[in-house]
């Protein structure tokens, strides 16, 4: 029972971290587009600072995920294995309800 709870907690941590990473990536894209469309230097400078903050956050989340074994950006085969395992666990969890 304990190992089953641990697996669910790891899966939840991984899902939360992945969602957070995707959000950071989307923020980076949105800030970059907004900078290109901004009309004044003041707005552009503010958006650049937010962009830099989002890049730093993305790096921190990525490093957390790498350290936990959730993310393997330099090893596509390993990342595919981790992603398939997470997808299978998510399907099993949803079918158990």
Convert the pLDDT of each residue in 44-60 to its tens digit: 999 999 999 999 999 99
Are 48 and 81 a contacting pair, CB within 8 Å?
no
pTM of the model: 0.76
pLDDT of res. 2:
44
Convert the pLDDT of each residue in 78-90 to its tens digit: 999 988 888 887 7
Check whether 11 has a pLDDT greater than 80.
no
Check whether 96 has a pLDDT greater than 70.
no
Cα(61)–Cα(67) distance, integer angstroms: 10
């Amino acid at each position: 029972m304990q190992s089953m709870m641990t697996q669910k907690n790891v899966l939840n941590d991984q899902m939360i971290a992945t969602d957070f990473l995707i959000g950071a990536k989307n923020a980076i894209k949105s800030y970059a587009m907004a900078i290109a469309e901004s009309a004044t230097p003041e707005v552009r400078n503010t958006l650049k600072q937010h962009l830099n903050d989002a890049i730093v956050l993305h790096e921190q989340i990525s490093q957390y995920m790498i350290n936990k074994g959730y993310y393997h950006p330099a090893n596509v085969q390993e990342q595919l294995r981790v992603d398939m395992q997470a997808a299978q666990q998510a399907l099993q969890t949803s079918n158990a309800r």
